[in-house]
């Protein structure tokens, strides 16, 4: 039977433009997909314009994202091998001003605690080195206002740690931990404990995030009916009834500013999601990431179902369950190492258009 006949018998759509992409088919495909692509870009852009701190700066969340980035740059400066005395005067002036404005608008609350800690550590660092930093009076004044919300356990700034404390934690982690993680699409009936999920979320919260703007959220869905509706929107098939908990990882557009950060929400969100998957794996639970590569209609449907804040974007869904004693997993073969990495020992080895190993047409060089 010919391919078109097989496709017709299966009541499916003939993917001629994928399998044999002639010029004519490609033109047709562009014409067919262009309106949808424009509509989806518009859908994403409107949300971005509305909530990204790139354009609007008035809400509490917008302001906190900037304050976090600014106080973190103080912490970062203090964590360098040789911090410069009195460093970052301009950034600190902005930070103090931003905190003052925040207090004027929203009052003093505990979200300013780490910023206070960083400023405190900055003053202490300069004092220990007999330096009177610029802005000292302004810093002291704002710290006085923040006194009521300071935590006793310690907040921003730096902490001293021993290498051994890191190495003893990693000593028992082998490559096997990573290589024995599979996407699991068969789960047992055993109930996943909320403690295990919460424990893994705490691990995920330790993920690096740009300027420590930790704004990822996880919705843990227990309700089976709701779960099945969500999985239907996602398009998952064949194992939905076995999924014990369904997680939705989101990130907040308000956390990011500047066009350079236009994709950062998804980068940070992806890193958070990976840590979450590994955290669940460390508890012996099975997970399957479920893509949120969606156009506007399913995205709207999911948002309606979960009543998601409009400023949040969905990064992905993660199906979670206990792993049965014996199961099949997709082999999901990896590329050979040589294909994925290239050592650059000397800059002279860098060639225009030279990626790692060419397997098909070279991609355009970025230079
Ligand atoms: C962001 C993301 C989305 C994914 N979406 C799906 C999905 O919708 N359905 C599914 O069955 N697997 C999905 N996967 C799982 C991949 O197919 C799987 O990770 C890949 O084949 C590698 O296999 P492994 O996870 O077993 O190592 C997704 C993975 C990622 C990272």
**pLDDT per position in the chain (367 positions), as tens?**
676 677 677 666 656 667 778 888 889 989 999 999 999 999 999 999 999 999 887 899 999 999 999 999 999 999 999 998 888 899 999 999 999 999 999 999 999 999 999 999 999 999 999 999 989 999 999 999 999 988 876 677 888 999 999 999 999 999 999 999 999 999 999 999 999 999 999 999 999 999 999 999 999 999 999 999 999 999 999 999 999 999 999 999 999 999 999 999 999 999 999 999 999 999 999 999 999 999 999 999 999 999 999 999 999 999 999 999 999 999 999 999 999 999 999 998 887 766 666 555 455 444 3
Are the C-beta atoms of 319 and 236 separated by less than 8 Å?
A: yes
One of 3.30.70.330, 3.40.50.300, 1.10.3720.10, 3.40.109.10 is the CATH number of 167-322, namely 3.40.109.10
Are the C-beta atoms of 256 and 65 separated by less than 8 Å?
A: yes
Give the distance (Å) from ligand 1 centre to CA of residue 288. 6
Mutation probe of ligand 1 site: the residue of 175, 183, 273 with most atoms within 8 A of C-beta: 183
User: What angle, 0 to 180 degrees and rounded to 10, lies between the N-to-C axes of helices 296-306 and 224-234?
Assistant: 170
Q: Whose CA is nearest to atom 20 of ligand 1?
A: 332
In 3D space, the residue among 243, 327, 257 whose CA is nearest the CA of residue 290 turns out to be: 243
Ramachandran angles phi, psi of 114, nearest 5°: -65, -30
Q: Distance of CA 341 to CAs 44, 102, 179, 270, 367, Å?
A: 33, 46, 18, 21, 20
What span, in angstroms and rounded, lies between the C-alpha atoms of 272 and 201? Answer: 9
Q: Whose CA is nearest to atom 10 of ligand 1?
A: 290
What letters, b where the CB count within 10 A reaches 16 and e where it falls short, cover 303-336?
Answer: beebebeebbbbbbbbbbbbbeeeeeeeeeeeee
From the centroid of its chain, how far is CA 286? 21
**Domain spans, the chain:** 3-47, 60-149, 167-322
């Amino acid at each position: 039977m010919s391919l078109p006949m097989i496709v017709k018998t299966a009541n499916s759509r003939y993917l001629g433009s994928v399998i044999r992409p002639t010029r004519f088919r490609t033109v047709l495909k562009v014409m067919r997909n262009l309106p949808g692509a424009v509509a989806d870009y518009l859908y994403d852009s409107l949300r971005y314009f509305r909530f990204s701190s790139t354009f609007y700066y008035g809400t509490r969340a917008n302001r906190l994202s900037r304050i976090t980035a600014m106080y973190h740059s103080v912490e970062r400066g203090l964590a360098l091998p040789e911090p410069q005395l009195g460093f970052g005067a301009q950034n600190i002036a902005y930070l103090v001003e931003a905190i003052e404005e925040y207090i004027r608008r929203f009052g003093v609350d505990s979200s300013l605690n780490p910023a206070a800690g960083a400023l405190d550590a900055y003053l202490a660092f300069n004092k220990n080195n007999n330096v009177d930093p610029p802005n000292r009076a302004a810093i002291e004044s704002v710290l006085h206002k923040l006194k009521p919300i300071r935590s006793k356990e310690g907040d921003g700034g730096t902490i001293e740690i021993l290498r051994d404390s890191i190495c003893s934690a990693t000593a028992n982690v082998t490559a096997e931990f990573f290589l024995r993680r599979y996407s699991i699409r068969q789960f047992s009936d055993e109930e996943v404990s909320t403690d295990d999920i919460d424990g893994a979320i705490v691990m995920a919260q330790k993920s690096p995030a740009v300027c420590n703007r930790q704004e990822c959220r996880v919705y843990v869905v227990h309700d089976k009916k709701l779960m099945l509706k969500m999985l239907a929107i996602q398009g998952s098939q064949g194992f939905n009834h076995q999924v014990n908990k369904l997680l939705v990882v989101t990130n907040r557009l308000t956390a990011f500013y500047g066009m350079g950060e236009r994709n950062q929400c998804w980068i940070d969100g992806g890193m958070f999601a990976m840590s979450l998957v590994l955290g669940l794996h460390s508890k012996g639970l099975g997970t399957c990431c479920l893509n949120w590569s969606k156009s506007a209609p399913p995205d709207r449907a999911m948002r309606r179902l979960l009543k998601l804040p409009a400023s949040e974007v969905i990064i992905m869904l993660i199906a979670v369950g206990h792993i049965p004693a014996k199961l099949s997993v997709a082999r999901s073969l990896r590329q050979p190492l040589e294909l994925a990495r290239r050592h650059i020992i000397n800059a002279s080895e860098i060639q225009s258009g030279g990626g790692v190993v060419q397997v098909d047409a070279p991609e355009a060089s970025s230079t």
